[in-house]
Amino acid sequence: MRRFSERLAPLGWHLELLIHVDDFPDLKDTLMDYPVDIVVGHLGYMKSPETIDNPGFQEFRGLVRGGNCWVKLTGSYRITGADSPPYPDVVPVAQALIAANPDRIIWGTDWPHPIHYRGMPNDAYLLDQLLDWTDEATIEKILVDNPEELFGF
């Protein structure tokens, strides 16, 4: 991946990953010095009921805190233990990541929700979750300012 990211750097691109951060207690060492921005989807894809004290999640938060990594607030319905909203077990995960570095958080729907076999999520509800996770000023960062910086528009 490092060699691939070196090829992306001159293009101004970033590297998107979908990984289970709770499986990587050495994530910081693995991804620390990449020459491109790293974006991790699905809030780190840590399966519930793991706690935010998981060593891999803490490594992930460290990368986000240090500005080396971005988080996509997508797929809350994929990491919850609940069959339908609300997803209360996702709230501490989202809040911990936002608190780590609100300037490195973006949001997305994950539409059209591929390879999802439980109830189809309502995208409007997925957006409304932001109100449970943070305040209005931070929501503006997540929806406007941060994507502008990451994507360069």
State the virtual CA torsion across 68, 73, 75, 78 in degrees, nearest 10. Answer: 70
**Segment 41-46 mean pLDDT:** 94
List the 38-40 sheet strands across, edge first. Answer: 15-17, 38-40, 69-73, 105-107
99-111 pLDDT, tens digit each: 999 999 999 999 9
Annotated active-site residue 89? The verdict is no
State the burial class of residue 29 (Cβ atoms within 10 Å of its Cβ: 0-12, 13-18, 19+).
exposed
The radius of gyration of the chain from alpha carbons, rounded to an integer in Å, stands at 15
Confidence check: pLDDT of 13 > 90? yes
49-95 pLDDT, tens digit each: 678 999 999 999 999 999 889 999 999 999 998 888 889 999 999 99
- Alpha-carbon distances, residue 49 vs 45, 74, 119 (angstroms): 12, 17, 19
Confidence check: pLDDT of 124 > 90? yes
In CATH terms, the superfamily for domain 2-151 is Metal-dependent hydrolases (3.20.20.140)
Lookup: tokens for 22? 């709770």
pLDDT above 70 coverage of the chain, percent: 98
The catalytic position among 103, 110, 123, 135 is 110
**Segment 123-149 mean pLDDT:** 96
